[in-house]
């Protein structure tokens, strides 16, 4: 049976993962409507990934005897001033999500829920990868300056790997 405090922390994370998905959808729309096809595909794929994370939390809570709650989601921003701003916000958001994952693990430790703590390790590893990936993209944008965004846009999918079919 899932500890009540742990359940509350996990249910709260469901909303954060849903917001992440919508934030990346918003960024995908911005990129797509500004002619950055590669970047839009990257963000569509990221949005799909965040939705899958949300579903992992939902299923885990339900399977462990808790009850997931499907949240209302705050509307993300829809206008961005530049590619640099979009990816700076992305890194900041991923760091925020990492802090939330760490907070959940803290609750697991306090409540001696070592099963959930072990399950959460997948998210810890995922966040390490996400932050490193986005930091690398920010480095590339810094090196490019405000030039060569066309080449960046063409190259970005190679930085991510394969695109899920639903993102194409």
Q: What is the pLDDT of residues 58-108, one digit of tens each?
A: 999 999 999 999 999 999 999 999 999 999 999 999 999 999 999 999 999
Higher pLDDT, 154 or 19: 19
pLDDT band at 167 (very low <50, low <70, confident <90, very high): very low
- pLDDT attached to residue 142: 87
Contact between 113 and 8 (Cβ < 8 Å): no
- pLDDT attached to residue 157: 67
Angle at 82 between CA 80 and CA 85, to 5 degrees: 75
Instruction: Give the C-alpha distances (Å, rounded to integers) separating 6 from 15, 101, 113, 118.
Output: 15, 12, 8, 13
Contact between 23 and 43 (Cβ < 8 Å): no
- pLDDT attached to residue 153: 74
pTM: 0.89
The alpha carbons of the chain give a radius of gyration, in whole angstroms, of 17
For residue 164, pLDDT over 60 is answered with no
pLDDT band at 149 (very low <50, low <70, confident <90, very high): confident
- pLDDT attached to residue 144: 83
- pLDDT attached to residue 168: 41
C-alpha 10, offset from chain centre: 15
CA–CA dist 61, 12 (Å, integer): 11
Closest CA to 58 of 71, 72, 43: 71
With H, G, I as helix, E, B as strand and everything else as coil, classify residue 28.
helix
CATH of domain 4-70+80-161: 1.20.1260.10
Query: To the nearest whole percent, how much of the chain has pLDDT over 90?
Result: 81
pLDDT tens, position by position, 133-147 = 999 999 988 888 766
């Amino acid at each position: 049976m899932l500890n009540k405090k742990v359940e509350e922390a996990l249910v709260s994370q469901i909303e954060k993962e849903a917001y992440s998905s919508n934030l990346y959808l918003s960024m995908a729309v911005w990129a797509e409507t500004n002619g950055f096809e590669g970047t839009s595909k990257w963000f569509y794929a990221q949005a799909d990934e965040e939705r899958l994370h949300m579903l992992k939390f939902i299923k885990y809570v339900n399977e462990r005897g808790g009850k997931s709650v499907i949240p209302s989601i705050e509307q993300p921003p829809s206008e961005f001033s530049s590619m640099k701003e979009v990816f700076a916000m992305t890194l900041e958001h991923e760091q925020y999500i990492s802090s939330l994952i760490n907070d959940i693990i803290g609750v697991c430790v306090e409540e001696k829920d070592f099963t959930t703590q072990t399950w959460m390790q997948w998210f810890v590893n995922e966040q390490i990868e996400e932050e490193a990936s986005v930091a690398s993209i920010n480095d590339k944008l810094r090196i490019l300056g405000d030039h060569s965004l066309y080449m960046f846009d063409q190259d970005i999918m190679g930085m991510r790997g394969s695109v899920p079919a639903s993102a194409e």
